[in-house]
Amino acid sequence: MDSLPFYEPGVPNISSPFAFLLWIARNQLKVILFGSVFGILSIASLAVMPGFLGRAIQAIADHDPSALTRWVLIIFALGIAQSIAGVLRHRWAVASWIIAATRLKQIIARKASNLGADLPRLISTGEVVSVNNNDVERMARGFDNIPRLIGSVLSFIFVAIVLIRSSPTIGLIVILGVPLMALAIAPIIGPLQEREAEQRKKLGHSTNLASDTVAGLRVLRGIGGEEAFIQRFKIASQEVRAAAVRTARTRSLLQALQIVLPGVFVLIVIYAGGNLVVEGRMKVGELLSFYGYSAFLVLPLRVMTETAQRMTSAAVSARRVIALLSVSTLNHWGGNESPDGNALLKDEVSGIEIHPRELLVIVSEDPVIADELSDRLGGYVDAEKVTLGDYSLIEFSRDAIRRTIYSQEKEPAILSGTIGSIFSVPNSGRLSIDEAIDAASARNILDSLEGEGLDAEVVERGRTLSGGERQRLALARTLYVDAPIVILDDPTSAVDAHTETRIALRLSEVRAGRTTVIFSNSPLILDRADRVEFILNGAIQEQGTHHELLLRSQRYRELVMRGA
Amino acid sequence: MKGKPVSEDHLPPSAFRSPPPNTARIPTDFGFERSSSRLPIASVQTVNKELVALISKHKRGFFLVAALQFVTVASALVIPRTFGNLLGQLGKNPQKANISLTVTIVATALVVQTIFSYWTKVKASVLGEFVLSSLRERFLERVVELPPNVVERAGSGELLSRTTTDIDHITWAVRDAFPIITISLVEIASIFIAIAFTAPIFIAVVMIGAPVIFAVTRRYLRKSPQAYRVESSSYALMNSVLVESAESGRTIDALRLGEDRIERSDSALGRWIEWERYTLRLRTAWFPFVEMSYIFPLGVVLLVGAYFYNLGTMTIAQITASLLYAQMAIDPLEGMLWWIDELQGGKASLSRLLGIHEIQEREIRISEPDGFEVRGEEIRYGYKKDRDVLNGISFIIEPGTRVAIVGPSGAGKSTLGKLLAGIQPPRSGTVTVGGSEVGYLPVEQTRGHVALVTQEHHIFVGTLRENISLANADATDEEIWEALVAVDAHLWARELVAGLETPVGIGGTRLLPPQAQQVALARLVLADPHTLILDEATSLLDQRSARHLEASLNSVLEGRTVIAIAHRLQSAHDADIIAVIEDGKISEWGSHAALMKADGPYATLWKSWRDES
């Protein structure tokens, strides 16, 4: 465990759940083997115990103190051996579990990073979290039972042999009986797991509702919807309860069977063994041992059913993890690493062309179309429909495109941390953080935060900041990154007119000589544009300067002119 | 606040940069400082008190489970006793031994044990699930009452991990540990009684393991709760890293921070592993001694038994039965100690859940608002101690007035909106609606008087109907559609596959941000308060749609007091009164025409907004 987390968790075989589980097992074979050795030792010392207890009782009955001492000493030794082997088994089992969980979590984190912008489009956060926690845990738990299983199977064989040697009939009954019982129990495992799955689903729903409360707390508070929401949560919570009780019924049945079935052995041993003693073919002490052995059989039976349960749920979870790992990115990027940041950027769908080093403002009647266009130009969707110079975006590597084109979405995320950590991103080095902050008129935000300067703390996703503050902070970050081509989707929608005017001015200064595209219908921004494209229903309607368009197009005027 | 300082999930970012601490240091150094902004964690005493209260509240349930378990164990105990007797008979006079009677008794006992065991476990689960659901529901009831500023300061991830991971942990503990511990306790007690009836001397013998178990367990329990608490915090941290990566995928991708996220996640993982290893070490120093204490008494029973057998004061039957009893006690003992351990995790989570109850409650002053007048007097409020955002604002808004609040961003407009909606009371001064201080009204009373919709939109998991009717659970279809029409949302809502029953939010149909804003406004229409505060409530709609929506909303809201915060001065132009806020003060107050005439800050803002300056 010393080398955890892995430097490189490896590439799993995800062709099938079984292959996946096997791949993990093969990667930690040593740990599983060590665990199994101690598993065998600890369970075996339990298995042989009845033999010595019986001999000791016999020694008491025979008034043989030296024999008694011998057996009692062996019992003490076995106790010590068992406890040490037991804790070592536990350690290796936990290690096995942690190693498997770590590897899986690392693989998932890498997958998430690989999917990048596609992740929130393709999979809900709740789903990712639930796979990363519940399914990983269930898969990992499939491994920590292996030492116990191996120990149990071997002990079972040992007990069967001992019994056969003393009494072939009893021995045979046991050796055939235990597997038969396991088979008898098997039909319950299916329904039990179905009910468990149902229960998990219900629990998932109630957890979703609960986390929703947190996310929407302010909304609830504003509208006074707390009570209605709590009512909904209570219904969900009661459904979880009902499902859990149903599961408990089946599980209790399974556990009751685990008592009564081995009990049958005890009955057989008492009856057959008792008669053997009566016939003088068995000693009293031996009968006690027999009784002990048959009572011991509860353990292997329990471990076997438990393992079967864990293995099935590990397989189910493996399938879910595989589903997550098999999600592929929307774009299949090429390998060209050297895009030209001063080339013509062209959207084949709308026909829009972005000339090098210009400040282009795109006016769209429909904001949804603007969002789509901004995603496309940034290479987030349909990258094959956009060209940069002579190449389609898709021919470049993803990293090369992100380095060259920075497309800021409408509501960019502010990652938690300090101002300093928000700005610790790859950047051109042309602007200092202070310059970027000033260009976005974001200086006064820092004053309202805990901590000074770059150490000022921003709470998670900037939730305490107002929409305008978040917008300015994100803009400052974008300007700091200073990509050759910057695309901004309505970057000033939540700031007041004075601030917007300032931002428009400084933005055009800071971006001078570099390519910038802004989606905005604000005259304050349009005023600064080198060129304006007016799109309607996704196609270019008009282009020219702001003032040309104002004169030329009635529709444009209606859209951008403000006031009564 | 009681309780020792304990680490929290939201580590400073510097925690990511440094390597995880050396495990050897962990026991003495719990590492991280506690900041006043974190959510409280309940002390061990509080948790114990709560557990006792829980048990005594469900006394009857516990008693029933205990009684059922007693029957289960009693029937199980019959078996060694009967078998011991048989051995005794066989030892003395094999021919007289009644084997079939023994088999009959054992078989009967087995059947009774099986049936009662099933029954006990079902009852225990029913009880456990009941306790669990009430715990869960009580927690959430408290969460929605929390003062929002507390939640915001602590970060919602913190609260989120309490509502998800911690509730899950407790579910585990309650579902498995609680019943097993109860059942095991009864079982152990019954076994002791059985031994006492068989051969009282063996009670003392069996107890020789007890002091060792007691000592090592106590030592273990002194360290483990804290450790498990930090362990679950580090698990929560791991989660919040992933949640952020998943939710901010686009931004992370754009900033090329993929590698950085992997590093953060590996580092959080490393921290969690450190803690897993530490708790494993604690268990390593605990388990073996406990397990030895099980086996040890078996040998001593044999030795002591032999001594009395030689004296003739004890039979083989007694020794055998006692030996088997002592062996039978191993299972429940082991089970109990194992689950006490598991319970530590549950208790750690419970202390985090109960910590929520230690947050100071909002002060409530019961009063009945009389009339609809909104009035502010010398309102002051700030987020930092030494810096107020609002510096003494006073105003009177007559019922039915439409007020627009404008001003530069960061001037305190949104803060004023929150205070007007009674989300929080001001630091000094008063905000009253109909003469009642709105910040101190009980939540259920505020609703119906004042409601606030901000630019922050959230679609809850559930159907469109559930989302809208949050504001009024009894709303009919017709009322909901009217509300949707009022916010121009009926056009797209009609297109949804299942109409009002369409699932939206996580896992359902994804609504676009402007649509989410419309849903928020539809809720407001349905809530139907006499005073509405709209903080940039249409900012995500394009200008024309926003204008159209505002017009149709206005006809529905005729006669209501509407206070709108907007940077789109369009809405200001149409308002009865415009309040300009600058630097936490009202700098201008009047109609559009009047303020334009005055040629002050508003006029400048208006001109600049229209690009005329």
In-domain check, residue B33: no
CATH number at residue B134: 1.20.1560.10
Judge: B125–A229 Cβ closer than 8 Å, yes or no: no
Count CA within 13 A, CB hemisphere, residue B284.
15
User: Alpha carbon A475 to chain centroid distance?
Assistant: 31
Task: Flag whether pLDDT at A268 surpasses 60.
Answer: yes
Distance from CA of A500 to the nearest CA of B (A): 9
User: What does pTM read for this prediction?
Assistant: 0.83
With an 8 Å Cβ cutoff, is B117 touching chain A? yes
Confidence of residue B21 (pLDDT cuts 50, 70, 90): very low
User: Highest mean pLDDT range out of B88-97, B199-208, B578-587?
Assistant: B578-587
With an 8 Å Cβ cutoff, is B455 touching chain A? yes
pLDDT at B158: 67
Task: Flag whether pLDDT at B17 surpasses 70.
Answer: no
Per the structure, the count of domains in chain B is 2
Judge: A211–B163 Cβ closer than 8 Å, yes or no: yes
**B residues 394-413 closer than 8 Å to A (CB):** 406-410
Distance from CA of A398 to the nearest CA of B (A): 9
Question: What Å distances lie between residue A155 and A46, A127, A258, A277, B364, CA to CA?
Answer: 9, 42, 18, 26, 67
Distance from CA of A417 to the nearest CA of B (A): 6
Confidence of residue B25 (pLDDT cuts 50, 70, 90): very low
Contacts of B276 in chain A (CB under 8 A): 94, 98
How many CB atoms neighbour CB B200 within 10 A?
9
| Among candidates B113, B407, B569 on the partner chain, residue whose Cβ is nearest the Cβ of A259 | B113
A529: left (phi over 0), alpha (psi -120 to 50) or beta: beta
Same domain membership, residue B115 and residue B232? yes
Question: What Å distances lie between residue B478 and A223, A487, B356, B500, B501, CA to CA?
Answer: 20, 44, 39, 11, 14
CA angle (A519, A520, A521) in 5-degree steps: 140
Closest chain A residue by Cα to residue B172: A244
Are the CB atoms for B62 and B55 separated by under 8 Å?
Answer: yes
pLDDT at A477: 95
Please state the rounded mean pLDDT for residues B438-446.
83
Same domain membership, residue B569 and residue B523? yes
Last residue of a domain, one of B328, B358, B388: B358
Distance from CA of A135 to the nearest CA of B (A): 14
Contacts of A245 in chain B (CB under 8 A): 122, 125-126, 129
| Among candidates B87, B414, B466 on the partner chain, residue whose Cβ is nearest the Cβ of A288 | B87
**B residues 199-218 closer than 8 Å to A (CB):** none
The SS3 assignment for A336 reads strand
Token couple for B17: 């940069």
Same domain membership, residue B379 and residue B354? no
Token couple for A258: 């685990």
With an 8 Å Cβ cutoff, is B248 touching chain A? yes
Helices B316-328 and B178-198: crossing angle, nearest 10°? 170
pLDDT at A520: 93
Are the CB atoms for A2 and A314 separated by under 8 Å?
Answer: no
In-domain check, residue B212: yes
Question: Which residue would you say has higher pLDDT here, A488 or B472?
Answer: A488
Length of chain A: 564
Are the CB atoms for B97 and B89 separated by under 8 Å?
Answer: yes
> By mean pLDDT, which of A150-154, B338-342, B356-360, B498-502 is the weakest?
B338-342
Closest chain A residue by Cα to residue B270: A5
Distance from CA of B87 to the nearest CA of A (A): 6
With an 8 Å Cβ cutoff, is B558 touching chain A? no
Please state the rounded mean pLDDT for residues A530-540.
92
Same domain membership, residue B76 and residue B201? yes
The SS3 assignment for A346 reads strand
User: Highest mean pLDDT range out of A245-249, A449-453, B221-225?
Assistant: A245-249
In-domain check, residue B179: yes
User: Alpha carbon B203 to chain centroid distance?
Assistant: 45
* DSSP assigned state of A273: I
Same domain membership, residue B240 and residue B210? yes
Confidence of residue B11 (pLDDT cuts 50, 70, 90): very low
pLDDT at B155: 60
Report how far residue A117's alpha carbon sits from residue B353's, in angstroms, rounded to the nearest whole number: 34
Please state the rounded mean pLDDT for residues A129-154.
87
Are the CB atoms for B321 and B81 separated by under 8 Å?
Answer: yes
With an 8 Å Cβ cutoff, is B96 touching chain A? no
In-domain check, residue B556: yes
Please state the rounded mean pLDDT for residues B348-354.
83
Judge: A278–B452 Cβ closer than 8 Å, yes or no: no
With an 8 Å Cβ cutoff, is B298 touching chain A? yes
List, in order, residues 6 or more apart from B526 with CB less than 8 Å away. B468, B469, B471, B472, B475, B479, B480, B483
Judge: B469–A559 Cβ closer than 8 Å, yes or no: no
Are the CB atoms for B503 and B509 separated by under 8 Å?
Answer: yes
> By mean pLDDT, which of A484-498, A526-540, B10-24, B300-314 is the weakest?
B10-24
| Among candidates A61, A126, A468 on the partner chain, residue whose Cβ is nearest the Cβ of B91 | A61
pLDDT at B477: 92
Distance from CA of A365 to the nearest CA of B (A): 8
Complex-level ipTM: 0.88
Task: Flag whether pLDDT at B30 surpasses 60.
Answer: no
Closest chain A residue by Cα to residue B261: A113
User: Alpha carbon A481 to chain centroid distance?
Assistant: 30
* Nearest CA-CA partner of B407 in B572, B570, B580, B564: B580
How many CB atoms neighbour CB A349 within 10 A?
14
pLDDT at A475: 96
pLDDT at A416: 79
Question: Which residue would you say has higher pLDDT here, B23 or B389?
Answer: B389
Task: Flag whether pLDDT at B385 surpasses 80.
Answer: no
In-domain check, residue B467: yes
Rounded to the nearest integer, the mean pLDDT of chain B is: 82
Contacts of B174 in chain A (CB under 8 A): none
In-domain check, residue B12: no
Task: Flag whether pLDDT at A257 surpasses 70.
Answer: yes
Same domain membership, residue B438 and residue B536? yes
pLDDT at B1: 29
Task: Flag whether pLDDT at A3 surpasses 90.
Answer: no
Task: Flag whether pLDDT at B12 surpasses 50.
Answer: no
Q: Which segments of B207-329 does DSSP mark as H helices, in order? A: 210-247, 249-254, 258-284, 287-311, 316-328
| Among candidates B102, B309, B323 on the partner chain, residue whose Cβ is nearest the Cβ of A274 | B102
Q: Which segments of A167-225 does DSSP mark as H helices, in order? A: 168-215, 217-223
> By mean pLDDT, which of A223-227, B259-263, B338-342 is the weakest?
B338-342
Q: Is A2 exposed, middle or buried (0-12, 13-18, 19+ CB in 10 A)?
A: exposed
> By mean pLDDT, which of A120-129, B455-464, B524-533 is the weakest?
A120-129
CATH number at residue B596: 3.40.50.300
Judge: A210–B167 Cβ closer than 8 Å, yes or no: yes
In-domain check, residue B198: yes
How many CB atoms neighbour CB B497 within 10 A?
8
Task: Flag whether pLDDT at A193 surpasses 90.
Answer: no
| Among candidates A68, A82, A127 on the partner chain, residue whose Cβ is nearest the Cβ of B302 | A68
User: Highest mean pLDDT range out of A499-503, B162-166, B227-231?
Assistant: A499-503
Confidence of residue B38 (pLDDT cuts 50, 70, 90): low
How many CB atoms neighbour CB A201 within 10 A?
12
Same domain membership, residue B433 and residue B354? no
Report how far residue A50's alpha carbon sits from residue A66's, in angstroms, rounded to the nearest whole number: 19
In-domain check, residue B384: yes
Same domain membership, residue B406 and residue B269? no
Instruction: Please provide residue A4's backbone torsions phi and psi, each rounded to the nearest 5 degrees.
Output: -80, 150
CA angle (B459, B473, B403) in 5-degree steps: 70
Same domain membership, residue B409 and residue B332? no
With an 8 Å Cβ cutoff, is B121 touching chain A? yes
> By mean pLDDT, which of A75-89, A328-342, B383-397 is the weakest?
B383-397
pLDDT at B9: 32
Same domain membership, residue B291 and residue B235? yes
Last residue of a domain, one of B329, B358, B387: B358
Question: Which residue would you say has higher pLDDT here, A173 or A477?
Answer: A477
The SS3 assignment for B384 reads strand
In the block, tokens 């009692």 appear at A72
Same domain membership, residue B167 and residue B117? yes
Instruction: Please provide residue A541's backbone torsions phi and psi, each rounded to the nearest 5 degrees.
Output: -100, -50
Q: For B165-189, what is each residue's pLDDT tens digit?
A: 777 778 767 766 777 787 788 888 8
Judge: A112–B469 Cβ closer than 8 Å, yes or no: no
Please state the rounded mean pLDDT for residues B142-163.
72
User: Highest mean pLDDT range out of A495-499, B128-132, B222-226, B403-407?
Assistant: B403-407
Judge: B100–A271 Cβ closer than 8 Å, yes or no: yes
Closest chain B residue by Cα to residue A265: B107
| Among candidates B122, B567, B569 on the partner chain, residue whose Cβ is nearest the Cβ of A252 | B122
| Among candidates B242, B287, B543 on the partner chain, residue whose Cβ is nearest the Cβ of A128 | B242
Q: Which domains does chain A have, with CATH numbers?
A: 17-325 (1.20.1560.10), 345-560 (3.40.50.300)
Tell me what percent of the residues of chain A surpass a pLDDT of 70. 99
List, in order, residues 6 or more apart from A280 with CB less than 8 Å away. B94
Please state the rounded mean pLDDT for residues A129-147.
86
* Nearest CA-CA partner of A72 in A85, A58, A84: A58
Asked if residue A5 has a cis previous peptide bond (ω within 30° of 0), the answer is yes
Report how far residue B408's alpha carbon sits from residue B581's, in angstroms, rounded to the nearest whole number: 8
With an 8 Å Cβ cutoff, is B192 touching chain A? no
Task: Flag whether pLDDT at B288 surpasses 50.
Answer: yes
Token couple for A6: 């892995």
How many Cβ pairs within 8 Å bridge chains A and B? 517
Please state the rounded mean pLDDT for residues B307-328.
89
Distance from CA of B122 to the nearest CA of A (A): 6
Please state the rounded mean pLDDT for residues B603-608.
88
Helix (H) or strand (E) holding B376: strand B374-381
Are the CB atoms for A206 and A199 separated by under 8 Å?
Answer: no
Judge: B238–A366 Cβ closer than 8 Å, yes or no: no
Same domain membership, residue B402 and residue B283? no
Task: Flag whether pLDDT at A515 surpasses 90.
Answer: yes
* Nearest CA-CA partner of A233 in B135, B140, B470: B140
Residues of the domain holding B113? 40-358
pLDDT at B296: 85
Please state the rounded mean pLDDT for residues A284-304.
85
Count of helix runs (H) and strand runs (E) in chain B: 25, 12
In what side-by-side order are the strands of the sheet with B561-565? B450-453, B531-535, B561-565, B402-406, B577-582, B585-590
| Among candidates B456, B541, B543 on the partner chain, residue whose Cβ is nearest the Cβ of A219 | B456
Are the CB atoms for A247 and B101 separated by under 8 Å?
Answer: no
Rounded to the nearest integer, the mean pLDDT of chain A is: 89
Report how far residue B174's alpha carbon sits from residue B130's, in angstroms, rounded to the nearest whole number: 10
Contacts of B152 in chain A (CB under 8 A): 459, 463-464
Judge: A252–B125 Cβ closer than 8 Å, yes or no: yes
